[in-house]
Structure 1
Amino acid sequence: MPESMTDTPVATVADAALLAQTEAAVRAASAPLRERFGEVTLSRTREELMSALAANDDAVLDILRPRLHALRPHAGWVEQEQELHGGALPGGEWWVVDPAEGNVNHLHALPEWAVTATLVRENAPVLTVVHLPLTGHTYTALAGGGAYLDGRRLHVSGATDLGLSIVATSQARPDEQESLVRRVGSSITEMLLDALVVRTAVPATLHLANVAAGRIEAFWQFAGARADLLPGALLVAESGGQICTTDGRPWTPDSDSFLATAPGVHAAAVTTLSR
């Protein structure tokens, strides 16, 4: 992984064509998930919940995996058990995919979910697609080539006052250790004191898309896996935002925290989250 997101290698001309093909694959694979959406799916046990989540994932992956494999036959694939632990990947190219980012929202008939695919090369994100099947909107980013929403170039907010800013955080996964849960709660309290509004919801990727689009000024999260941070990190970096840990160090998938901000509120956000 590069020392920071600003060190991400510039994509090639071939990567630009690959981005368009990846977008087409993600759009096609999202159709079953859109068709499955509408009714609340209640689970009486953890086993039932995990089965419902897996069914959503499989509906997308049955289409997406072979299409992405055809585009990049030699690229690795981040399996679910690898994804849970995050960290650096082996060398070469890897597809980092979340077939239902915000899956639990989908099961509860909430609209905040997406299908994402990110190509990682030598531990640096090269391109990403974040598709929202319910609205048809698609966010894309290419390393060195900018970030876009349906073809419109994205730019982060020009805000300079954290006290006038909307910020957001997300829960990386359920069943975290108590110490991490308390750390999250403390950070929310600090941001409630310093920012205008704090939003707390899953999934992380959609908050990061809002940072990239200039709708909110900052997003932070403790822990997290590759698929919920890499797509949004590339979107924000290519929209002119800053990526680091919550105490201002360079971020990598091994880091225990993540912060994405508009430049004008970066220092203030780091100060707040470092208290």
Structure 2
Amino acid sequence: MNAVVTTTELEAVLGAVVGAVTIAGDALRERFDPAARPADLDTLVRAIYANDEAILPILREHLLAARPGSRLAEDELAGGSLPPGEWWVVDAAEGNVNHIHGMSEWAVTAALVSDNEPVLTVVYVPLSGDVYTAVRGGGARLNGEPIRVSAKTELTAALVGTGQAKPREAPEALRRLGASVTTMLTSALVVRVSVPATMQLVHVAAGRMDAFWQFSDVRSGLLPGALLVAEAGGAVTDTAGRPWSPASADFLASAPGLHAQVVDVLN
């Protein structure tokens, strides 16, 4: 078990992490073509892998140097707990499928996880220049300014969201997702179904959206946003309201005044 990482230690390394993710994000922006329209699955898959292969080495080099002794979790679609120690959970192109279709909702993310607890996160949105950051115990920020989750208490006034964690999920997971959307459509004001998860979670952290759930344990899509929402004053649990960890089977992040109502609907 690692020694406890202090907020002061995390704040000291944050600038280097912002720098690493910004360098990677700017490189991904250079690869962006708003006119891109992949015509078939083979072309699409090649473009996805090409983005990852171009950007992941940048993150690996800079992040491992920023925190000596840390390791990089290479598989961005993996779920479940990590081995003990410090790990970087990254997505070199969060929303890769959007990027290669000429759409704007994509980012580069990095989260430092210490003994399976997210302690630092950076999300960079290259097309807008927005940088979301959070350190455990230090709050959440957008471009250096504090952000807070929504103050709403009525689900009937809420904008909520969900989406697939990855392509070709198990049929049972897709049925559960579809049923939850149908149920939530009769309870919330508006339901947004989109990818990637991080781009919805930054909206929850900033108070623009009110809740996000996903029936998945894909770490790279959840860990950065989980810390941002928690440090912005939100509730982060599984869909039954139990404490969330990378070992949890599903995920819920919401404004605290809506959390119990969302749990009731999802169950």
Question: Normalising TM by the smaller chain, what interval?
Answer: over 0.9
2:151 aligns with 158
Pick from 54, 59, 66 the counterpart of residue 59 of structure 1.
54
For 2:230, give the aligned amino acid.
Answer: A
Structure 1 residue 29, shift from structure 2 partner: 1.4
Structure 1 residue 44, shift from structure 2 partner: 2.1
Please show how residues 62-211 of structure 1 align to structure 2 within 5 Å: 62-80=57-75, 83-211=76-204
TM-score of the aligned structures, taking structure 2 as reference length: 0.95
For 1:86, give the aligned amino acid.
Answer: G
Retained in 2: the 8 A contact 1:11–1:145? Answer: no
Structure 1 residue 49, shift from structure 2 partner: 2.5
Structure 1 residue 231, shift from structure 2 partner: 0.2
Matched residues in 1 for 2:252 and 2:79: separation? 16
Task: Report which structure shows greater RCO (CA 8 Å, sep ≥6).
Answer: 1
Cα RMSD (Å) of the superposition? 1.4
Q: Secondary structure at the match of 2:257?
A: helix
Q: Secondary structure at the match of 1:176?
A: coil
Change (3 A) 1:10 1:266: farther
Matched residues in 2 for 1:73 and 1:145: separation? 22
Structure 1 residue 14, shift from structure 2 partner: 2.0
Matched residues in 2 for 1:10 and 1:193: separation? 44
Q: Secondary structure at the match of 1:175?
A: coil
Deviations 1:64-115 (A, max 9, x none): 21111211231111012xx433111111101111000000000011100000
For 2:140, give the aligned amino acid.
Answer: A
1:33 aligns with 28
Whether 2:40 is the aligned partner of 1:44: answer: yes
Whether 2:253 is the aligned partner of 1:257: answer: no
Deviations 1:164-199 (A, max 9, x none): 110010110111111111100000011100000000
Matched residues in 1 for 2:26 and 2:54: separation? 9
The range that moved more, 67-76 or 124-133, is 67-76
Aligned length: 264
Q: Secondary structure at the match of 1:198?
A: strand
Unaligned stretches of 5+ in structure 1?
Answer: 2-8
Structure 1 residue 43, shift from structure 2 partner: 4.4
Retained in 2: the 8 A contact 1:139–1:150? Answer: yes
Q: Secondary structure at the match of 1:85?
A: coil
Matched residues in 2 for 1:183 and 1:132: separation? 30
Q: Secondary structure at the match of 1:194?
A: coil
Percentage of identical aligned residues: 54
For 1:57, give the aligned amino acid.
Answer: D
Q: Secondary structure at the match of 2:251?
A: strand
Q: Secondary structure at the match of 1:84?
A: coil
